[in-house]
């Protein structure tokens, strides 16, 4: 049995739709465990930011989670595959009409404090990181922060809150993260999982 920790929410939706198609019954199911006896999978659904914990504790063999979360929570996991779903971009964004200068002391609101710290350190800028759990655009609108480091997909949230992209940092996709110490048998099951995802992506 291969235990897969699949990030609950958007990636859960996209992955399950890809593998099983669209079913109302599945969408309405609130269970956090899904069994697939044909493929010999048990899928568990932690919050995206907790996927790394389940892998670390040996409670899952493999994780499916965004690159954004892996860069923040789990850079130490091997990642043998990335997929073309869950696609967005990590960016620095700020007010559209009153462009902020990226200089020492800049206040950066983000759900990704480690990523933001690293990005500004690489630029040689001393940034003040303000860690928030969500709705980070609001921090700029209320002048709690000068800019944000966040993911952008359609750009609608930025636009509707008076922000624009200052710099694109990296592309984000769903990635596979491998737990430590998995057996050869499970490695083969992981290979089959990667192949099935890629075949289904190419068919769509
Ligand atoms: N437009 C997008 N907004 C947020 N996440 C996206 C987007 N597009 C792709 N993703 C991917 O989906 C993941 C987030 O999924 P989701 O928003 O469902 O989880 P969450 O942030 O834990 O949920 P919530 O914000 O409801 O607490 C991200 O980590 C990212 O990899
Ligand atoms: O470019 P867009 O298509 O508008 O999507 C980007 C928005 O989606 C995400 O937020 P999410 O919906 O996960 O809510 P949160 O801010 O509360 O985490 C992200 O943090 C942006 O706010």
pLDDT at 190 (0 to 100): 97
Going by alpha carbons, the residue nearest to atom 30 of ligand 1 is 66
pLDDT at 28 (0 to 100): 76
Give the atom of ligand 1 at the shortest distance from the alpha carbon of 153.
Answer: 1
Chain segment 8-37, per-residue pLDDT in tens:
999 999 999 999 998 777 777 888 999 999
Distance CA 80, CA 145 (A): 37
What CATH number is attached to the domain comprising 131?
3.40.190.10
Q: What is the pLDDT along the chain (204 residues), one digit of tens a residue?
A: 999 999 999 999 999 999 999 877 777 788 899 999 999 999 999 999 999 999 999 999 999 999 999 999 877 899 889 999 999 999 999 999 999 999 999 999 999 999 999 999 999 999 999 999 999 999 999 999 999 999 999 999 999 999 999 999 999 999 999 998 899 999 999 999 999 999 999 987
6 & 80 share domain: yes
pLDDT at 60 (0 to 100): 97
pLDDT at 55 (0 to 100): 95
139 & 196 share domain: no
93 & 71 share domain: no
56 & 132 share domain: no
30 & 71 share domain: yes
pLDDT at 155 (0 to 100): 98
128 & 194 share domain: no
- Expressed as residue numbers, the domain containing 77 is 2-86+173-203
63 & 127 share domain: no
53 alpha carbon – ligand 1 mean position (Å): 18
Q: What is the DSSP string of the chain?
A: -EEEEE-TTHHHHHHHHHHH---HHHHH---SEEEETTTTEEEE---GGGHHHHHHTTS-SEEEEEHHHHHHH-TTSEEEEE-SSS-EEEEEEEESSSPPP--TT-EEEES-HHHHHHHHHHTT---EEEE-SS-THHHHHTTS-SEEEEEESSSHHHHHTTEEEEEEEEEE-EEEEEPSS--HHHHHHHHHHHHHHHHHHHH-
92 pocket-lining for ligand 1 (C-beta < 6 Å): no
pLDDT at 62 (0 to 100): 97
pLDDT at 56 (0 to 100): 93
36 alpha carbon – ligand 2 mean position (Å): 31
pLDDT at 133 (0 to 100): 97
Give the atom of ligand 2 at the shortest distance from the alpha carbon of 157.
Answer: 4
ipTM comes to: 0.95
135 alpha carbon – ligand 2 mean position (Å): 7
26 & 72 share domain: yes
Give the atom of ligand 1 at the shortest distance from the alpha carbon of 10.
Answer: 18
187 & 165 share domain: no
Residues with CB under 6 A from ligand 2: 134-135, 137, 150-157
Give the atom of ligand 2 at the shortest distance from the alpha carbon of 152.
Answer: 1
68 pocket-lining for ligand 1 (C-beta < 6 Å): yes
pLDDT at 23 (0 to 100): 76
Number of domain units in the chain? 2
10 & 74 share domain: yes
Going by alpha carbons, the residue nearest to atom 26 of ligand 1 is 9
């Amino acid at each position: 049995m291969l235990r897969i920790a699949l990030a609950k929410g958007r990636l859960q939706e996209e992955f399950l739709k890809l593998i099983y198609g669209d079913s109302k019954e599945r969408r309405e199911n609130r269970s956090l465990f899904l069994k697939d006896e044909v493929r010999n999978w048990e899928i568990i659904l932690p919050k995206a930011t907790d996927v790394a914990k389940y892998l670390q504790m040996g409670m899952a063999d493999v994780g499916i989670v965004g690159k954004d979360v892996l860069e923040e929570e789990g850079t130490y996991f091997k990642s043998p595959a990335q997929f073309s779903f869950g696609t967005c971009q990590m960016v620095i964004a700020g007010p559209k009409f009153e462009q902020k200068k990226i200089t020492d002391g800049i206040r950066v609101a983000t759900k990704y404090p480690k990523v933001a710290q690293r990005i500004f350190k690489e630029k040689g800028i001393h940034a003040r990181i303000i860690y928030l759990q969500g709705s980070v655009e609001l921090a700029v609108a209320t002048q709690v922060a000068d800019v944000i480091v966040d993911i952008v997909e359609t750009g609608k949230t930025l636009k509707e809150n008076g922000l624009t992209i200052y710099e694109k940092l990296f592309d984000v996709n769903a990635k596979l993260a491998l737990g430590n110490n998995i057996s050869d048998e499970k490695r083969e099951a992981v290979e089959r999982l990667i192949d099935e995802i890629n075949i289904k992506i190419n068919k769509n």
